[in-house]
A and B are shown apart, each in its own frame.
Chain A
Amino acid sequence: DQQVKQNSPSLSVQEGRISILNCDYTNSMFDYFLWYKKYPAEGPTFLISISSIKDKNEDGRFTVFLNKSAKHLSLHIVPSQPGDSAVYFCAASGSTTSGTYKYIFGTGTRLKVLA
């Protein structure tokens, strides 16, 4: 049961253009969402997060949008740069019955920014 889905395994974008990465979730109890970037042979690095009380969070070239009614979030990167080429993971978090939090990750989208 894949609770967090990234339906596009890969995406290619020209340098300078906008990259839009999408993520869907099924569990309405999720209340915190994050995006991580991962280069080969490295661990994921945190990019940006958003709480369910917001619908947008912006940090430099990165903006995350949350549509709770559609259970959908997206990451916008503008302008895209070749160094942005990596695998991007969406993660969702919600309180468990024991009051703890854990992340459920999507399967990732491989972004390639073409120079």
Chain B
Amino acid sequence: NAGVMQNPRHLVRRRGQEARLRCSPMKGHSHVYWYRQLPEEGLKFMVYLQKENIIDESGMPKERFSAEFPKEGPSILRIQQVVRGDSAAYFCASSPTGQPNEQFFGPGTRLTVL
């Protein structure tokens, strides 16, 4: 029973490029959450998705950031025109339901913007 998978584990981009982060939830999980952890800070909620739907994007910056969870394939967090302040660890979590059960986290993608 594979856990939550994220790729790539490390991503380096230059300012102005696009970053695409992928998350495959655990088998049977249809709820996906994205979090960002800036250096020396806790995890900050970004967005909550179910298959083909964005349920809560209250933590997403209004510009340059988007997320999707298509019917087939992984969830994608896309950051356009990256800036140095986007450098962080991005974690994906999945849950079997939308209830407050524990969320299972992936290993994270560490994004470095040069």
Residues on A close to B: CB < 8 A? 4, 6, 31-32, 34, 36, 41-46, 49, 89, 93, 96, 98, 100-108
Contact = CB atoms under 8 A, between A and B. Distances in A.
A34 B103 CA distance: 10
- Measured as residues with beta carbon below 8 angstroms from the partner, the interface class of chain B is 20 to 34
B4 interface: yes
A102 B93 CA distance: 11
28 contacts: A6-B42, A31-B100, A32-B100, A34-B102, A41-B108, A42-B108, A43-B91, A43-B105, A43-B107, A45-B105, A46-B102, A46-B104, A89-B43, A93-B100, A100-B55, A100-B98, A101-B98, A101-B99, A101-B100, A102-B56, A102-B59, A103-B33, A104-B45, A105-B42, A106-B42, A107-B41, A107-B42, A108-B42
A55 to B, nearest CB: 18
A8 to B, nearest CB: 13
B44 A41 contact: no
Contacts of B103: 46, 103
Contact of A102 (B4, B48, B91): B48
Nearest to A92: B100
Of all A-B residue pairs in the complex, the 7 with the closest CB atoms, nearest first, are A43-B105, A32-B100, A46-B102, A107-B42, A93-B100, A105-B42, A105-B43
A22 B13 CA distance: 38
Interface string B33-65: 101000011111100100000011001000000
A43 B41 contact: no
Given A43-B91, A43-B105, A45-B105, A105 B44 contact: yes
Nearest to B55: A100
B105 A44 contact: yes
